[in-house]
Amino acid sequence: MAFPRFTEEQIKAMIQGPSDIEWRYEMRRECQEILPNLYLGPIMASKSLETLQSLGITHIVCIRDEKEAFSVRPRFPERFSYMVLDVQDNEEQNLIRLFPGAKAFIDSAIAQGGRALVHCNGGISLSPAFVVMFVMQHHQLSWEEALHFVQNRRYCISPNTGFLTQIKEYEAIYKANIAVSSYPATHRTVARRKREVDDDDEDISREDDRKRILVSEPSFEQDPNAMETS
């Protein structure tokens, strides 16, 4: 099983978000389904075994500040598969470096027919940043579209300034990766071979230059005290 693909019109409608949801303050303590089988929420959602089972959750990404390790932790390791990411919840934390591992974990969960919950302590800044990047790459959206996509399902999210900057940077990264992977393999092979040939030609040219220098330079030093004859 994998995440379904949608048409451009469907994605536009999805970015706008469900029109029948009336957001209530207490909903920030719950988790919301962002994509089919992918949920985002706070620690409260991860502490209720009844809630997790009713949603069919099978995999949980637990993202926490290192200082929160005592309280933000896997609660039911015998029942669910966990990925724990210890980070610093500040603007200097590098999320882009950690994202590929989290994405692979979520992709694997969905491929196995499971459901994944991504949570941090409050579900406001840290875990939403990961989910925004996931949505952005999955649907190949701009960072603004992805942010609206997630925000229109969990209205209370607000990634801090540093995380928002990294979300913007990740748009360029994933698009570059797509461009490289979509470039025909034959062209990449030809380009690589051309570089190798050019490198070989450059090596030969440098060797020839060295030989010419050795031939042109005299093999003796002139004695400055020697008499000159006309």
Residue keyed to tokens 């461009």: 179
pLDDT at 87: 92
Q: Please say if the pLDDT value at position 188 is more than 60.
A: no
Q: Please say if the pLDDT value at position 187 is more than 60.
A: no
pLDDT at 216: 53
Q: What average pLDDT does this structure show over 4-17?
A: 79
First-residue to last-residue Cα distance in the chain: 95
Which range is least confidently modeled, 156-160, 187-191, 192-196?
A: 187-191
Question: Out of 31, 62, 120, 156, which one is annotated catalytic?
Answer: 120
Between 57 and 190, name the one with better pLDDT.
57
Q: What average pLDDT does this structure show over 63-77?
A: 92
CA angle 93, 82, 169 (to 5 degrees): 30
The three state secondary structure string of the chain is CCCCCCCHHHHHHHHHCCCCCCCCHHHHHCCEEEECCEEEECHHHHCCHHHHHHHCCCEEEEEEEHHHCCCCCCCCCCCCEEEEEEECCCCCCCCCCCHHHHHHHHHHHHHCCCCEEEECCCCCCHHHHHHHHHHHHHHCCCHHHHHHHHHCCCCCCCCCHHHHHHHHHHHHHHHHHHHHHHCCHHHHHHHHHHHHHHHHHHHHHHHHHHHHHHHHCCCCCCCCCCCCCC
pLDDT at 119: 98
pLDDT at 134: 98
Q: What average pLDDT does this structure show over 134-139?
A: 96
pLDDT at 219: 47
Between 77 and 17, name the one with better pLDDT.
77
Q: Render pLDDT for 24-42 as a digit per residue (tens, 0 to 9).
A: 999 999 999 999 999 999 9
Q: Please say if the pLDDT value at position 198 is more than 80.
A: no
Across the chain, what does the average pLDDT equal? 85
Q: Please say if the pLDDT value at position 142 is more than 80.
A: yes
pLDDT at 189: 56
Domains defined for the chain, CATH in brackets? 30-182 (3.90.190.10)
Q: Render pLDDT for 90-118 as a digit per residue (tens, 0 to 9).
A: 888 999 999 999 999 999 999 999 999 99
Q: Please say if the pLDDT value at position 16 is more than 50.
A: yes
156 is catalytic: no
CB 99 within 8 A of CB 21: no
pLDDT at 186: 52
Task: Using alpha carbons, select from 143, 119, 150, 135 the residue that is nearest to residue 16.
Answer: 150
116 CB-contact burial (10 Å; exposed 0-12 / middle 13-18 / buried 19+): buried
How far is residue 199 from each of residues 13, 78, 185, 193, measured CA to CA in Å?
52, 56, 21, 10
